[in-house]
């Protein structure tokens, strides 16, 4: 037996974040329809998180077709949903303790591609207990997705969730790997299989609307200083969107901060040959004898 206190404040807040997130994810997915606004959905989702007592752990990701991650609307975004494959990736934190979840809403007529990562996720969760190898989890994910005739996205992984840390160790691969680590009781991990009808790799695009703090620093420029103050006070080390910033020259200020290595951007990740990508994700606490899924629908 481990000496992890699963009733501690840390785990209670992880559970609270997960409960809020499960509700918001399901409500947001129901609002996706052809002609709907990306920006309106993102803002509605982020406001709903706050309404229910949490805070966004990162900007709502709305990834379309070949996009896999890091796509979020700009402040003046006019894009609307079409007959597309739409991935919603949403995070909530309560006092820096996180939950992370994703779902694919398929309006493109490819229901099996949307089902593949969902079934792979179930297979992965069934394996989780202290001592299980992350490579074994990746093998189970790969086997299910292969069984559908698709490829897992091999250069994206699940990940640990820390305090004010959206991506920490251990990585949870989406395929069988030789080098892996054992999960331990008390680990909080986000497992997120991605499936594609393409080759299975993503690459960086040119768009950046999501940012993260790299380090603290001093800047002369007034706008950059204002932006940095807001980031360190409100978002700390969690990712944030350009549209969340109160400064009217936020984009220019961020570029200035980026040049000084104070912030870094998250480029949109896309399937390298332009094929569709689907995704499903849950947050899991590794318990003494299995897994507690914090983001499952109640």
Q: Is 258 annotated as a binding residue?
A: no
> Tens digits of per-residue pLDDT, 100-156?
999 999 999 999 999 999 999 999 999 999 999 999 999 999 999 999 999 999 999
The catalytic position among 192, 197, 208, 271 is 192
Q: Is 264 annotated as a binding residue?
A: no
Q: Is 100 annotated as a binding residue?
A: yes
Q: Does the N-terminal peptide bond of residue 170 adopt cis geometry, omega within 30 degrees of 0?
A: yes
Residue 40 CB partners (closer than 8 Å, separation 6+): none
Q: Is 51 annotated as a binding residue?
A: no
CATH of 9-205+270-293, one of 3.30.450.20, 3.40.50.150, 3.90.230.10, 3.40.50.2000: 3.90.230.10
The catalytic position among 66, 89, 119, 142 is 89
pLDDT at site 207: 87
CATH number of this structure's domain 210-266: 1.10.10.10
Percent of the chain surpassing pLDDT 90:
97
The catalytic position among 43, 115, 163, 167 is 167
**Catalytic annotation on 126?**
no
CA–CA gap between residue 225 and residue 219 (Å, rounded): 6
Q: Is the pLDDT confidence value at 45 over 90?
A: yes
**Catalytic annotation on 281?**
yes
> Tens digits of per-residue pLDDT, 203-236?
999 889 999 999 999 999 999 999 999 999 999 9
Tokens of 194: 């991605």
**Catalytic annotation on 89?**
yes
The 8-class DSSP code of residue 208 comes to -
- Global pTM reads 0.96
Domain extent listing, the chain: 9-205+270-293, 210-266
Q: Is 281 annotated as a binding residue?
A: yes
């Amino acid at each position: 037996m481990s000496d992890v206190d699963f009733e501690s404040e840390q785990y209670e807040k992880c559970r609270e974040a997960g409960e809020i997130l499960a509700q918001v994810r399901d409500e947001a997915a129901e609002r996706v329809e052809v002609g709907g606004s990306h920006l309106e959905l993102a803002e509605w989702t982020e406001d709903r998180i706050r309404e229910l007592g949490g805070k966004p752990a990162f900007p709502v990701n709305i990834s379309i077709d070949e996009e896999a991650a890091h796509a979020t609307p700009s402040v003046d975004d006019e894009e609307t949903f079409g007959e597309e494959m739409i991935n919603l990736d949403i995070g909530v934190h309560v006092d820096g303790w996180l939950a992370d979840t994703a779902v694919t809403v398929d309006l493109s007529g490819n229901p099996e591609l949307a089902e593949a990562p969902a079934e792979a996720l179930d297979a992965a969760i069934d394996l989780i207990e202290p001592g299980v190898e992350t490579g074994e989890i990746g093998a189970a994910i790969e086997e299910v997705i292969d069984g559908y005739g698709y490829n897992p996205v091999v250069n994206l992984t699940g990940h640990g969730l820390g305090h004010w840390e959206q991506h920490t160790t251990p990585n949870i691969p989406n395929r069988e790997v030789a080098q892996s680590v054992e999960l331990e009781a008390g680990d909080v991990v986000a497992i997120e299989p991605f499936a594609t009808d393409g080759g299975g790799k993503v690459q960086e695009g040119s768009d950046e609307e999501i940012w993260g703090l790299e380090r603290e620093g001093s800047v002369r420029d007034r706008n950059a200083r204002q932006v940095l103050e807001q980031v360190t006070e409100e978002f700390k080390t969690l990712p944030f969107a350009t549209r969340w910033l109160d400064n009217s020259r936020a984009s220019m200020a961020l570029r200035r901060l980026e040049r000084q290595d104070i912030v870094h951007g998250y480029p949109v990740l896309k399937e390298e040959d332009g094929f569709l990508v689907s995704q499903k994700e849950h947050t899991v606490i590794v318990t003494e004898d299995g897994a507690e899924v914090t983001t499952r629908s109640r």
